[in-house]
Amino acid sequence: MIFWILIAIVVLAPLPFASVYPWSWSLMAVSVGGLLIAWSAQVALGKRRPAFGLQSTWPFVLLFLTPVIWAALQSMSLTPEEWHHPIWRNVSEVLGIKLAGSVSIDPVVTVSSLMQLLTYGGIFWLSLHYGADPVRARQVFLTLSVAGLAYAAYGLVVEFSGTKTILWFDKFAYKNDLTSTFVNRNSYATYAGLTLLCASGLLLNLIFKSLAIENRREQVRQLIESMSGRGWFLLIICITVATALVLSHSRGGFLSTGLGLIALVMAISLTRTVKTRYSVYIGVLTVFAGVAFFAFSGDVLDKRLAATSIEAEERPKVYELTVDAIKASPVLGTGYGSFAKVFSLYRQDNIRDFYLKAHNTYLENALELGIPAALALFGTFVCMLILTFRGLRRRQRSAIYPCMGFAATVLVAAHSMVDFSLQIPAVAATYALIMGVACAQSWGSKRQRGAW
């Protein structure tokens, strides 16, 4: 029951505007916390044995807890006064009263952001332990693929009906772009890309299993049988989600998903179960399919890509100002989740738009957490990337799951350079679920049951 409730939480996360509002992500946090308590109680009572021990997972735990502990300290007044953000001293002087300051410019926002981060960590932890079972691993990726189909189909219905709504609310942003249940087209594009990777991975796994047969006649028979069985449904998912992705008109989402798909094909080619020539054929076919989709429904996206100009974009200016803010407090940071308030202090007249995010997750985290803690957080993703790469190289069975995890990390890492999709709860929760399973399947059975 814990496993299926976890999947339900992640699958339903995009429904209420991608869970960006406090009530929705708070509900997610409470639900995941309850599942962690229930799972821990089962372990403590001896009813369940963890699939992995600290001997295997300590790099993840150590790197993840470093920014968590530091973000908690940022929100407290227990730290030395000379560490506190200068704004606390300025406000105290203006008001004429002594305020209990903190490293964070906004401790309440820091605590809220920390709660979200812990939620994603909880999803990853539960997914890691339940995803050690290959059957459950496939259930996760298949369920996410179906969820991607559902949200893409809804988005296409809204797009072609011209209603310009999200659920029963009128759109107030990106009215001419497909966003499904998301407010931001770029965030939906990342979610669509992740679910497209899930469906594509399962489909490619079926194809490569058929191609692994030596007898050519049996190979063709098995391929036809696979595509007429489960394969056609996965193909429909890929076509539907890819169409919705292109119609989102997100440049970053389209390009990063393309990188993710290329990474997926390359990762599969590096496994020990696939012949190189078949990987080349599938890679060429994937590129051709992407070009065909783009040519068929990418007119607006094509114009946006053609009109892209660094000189005309505001984001490079935002990046420069963010770097200036980082230099002011490179070690301590300004408080996790505090970008919006800090950026208002550095904003210049040549910045027209209002920025709540830096549109570069790396710079934003370095500003908020400080460079050391941010590097520890990034190190968590590097560990997952390395683990999945080792898994796809070493594993013979279920190697497709590390491949999908590797590709998913490439996708979000690329998009995080130009946007903030991984800071959207629905996207982050989906990625955490994917990576928990991918990392679990990256270990062989001998490495499972590590010592506690």
What does the DSSP 8-state code read for residue 47? S
Among the listed residues 11, 12, 3, the one whose alpha carbon sits nearest the alpha carbon of residue 36: 3
Q: Which residue has the tokens 């992740």?
A: 194
Q: Give the residues across from 166 on adjacent strands.
A: 169
CA separation for the pair 240, 359 (Å, rounded): 28
pLDDT for res 137: 93
Question: Can you say how many angstroms the Cα of residue 61 is from the centroid of all Cα atoms in its chain?
Answer: 19
The radius of gyration of the chain's CA atoms, rounded to the nearest angstrom, is 23
Tokens of 135: 């059957």
pLDDT for res 103: 93
pLDDT for res 364: 96
Phi-psi region of 324 (alpha: psi -120 to 50; beta: other; left: phi over 0): alpha
pLDDT for res 15: 92
Among the listed residues 151, 265, 155, the one whose alpha carbon sits nearest the alpha carbon of residue 204: 265
Strand pairing class (165-166; 169-170): antiparallel
pLDDT in tens, the chain (452 residues): 899 999 999 999 999 899 999 999 999 999 999 999 999 999 999 888 888 877 788 888 999 999 999 999 999 998 998 999 889 888 888 888 888 889 999 999 999 999 999 999 999 999 999 999 999 999 999 999 999 999 999 999 999 998 889 988 988 888 889 999 999 999 999 999 999 999 999 998 888 776 666 666 766 676 677 677 778 899 999 999 999 999 998 988 989 999 999 999 888 888 866 666 666 666 666 666 666 656 665 555 555 554 554 444 688 889 999 999 999 999 999 999 999 999 988 888 778 777 889 999 999 999 999 999 999 999 999 999 999 999 988 877 788 999 999 999 999 999 999 999 899 999 999 999 999 999 999 986 554 444 33
Is-contact 403 367, C-beta < 8 A? Answer: no
Tokens of 313: 């974009």
Is-contact 425 25, C-beta < 8 A? Answer: yes
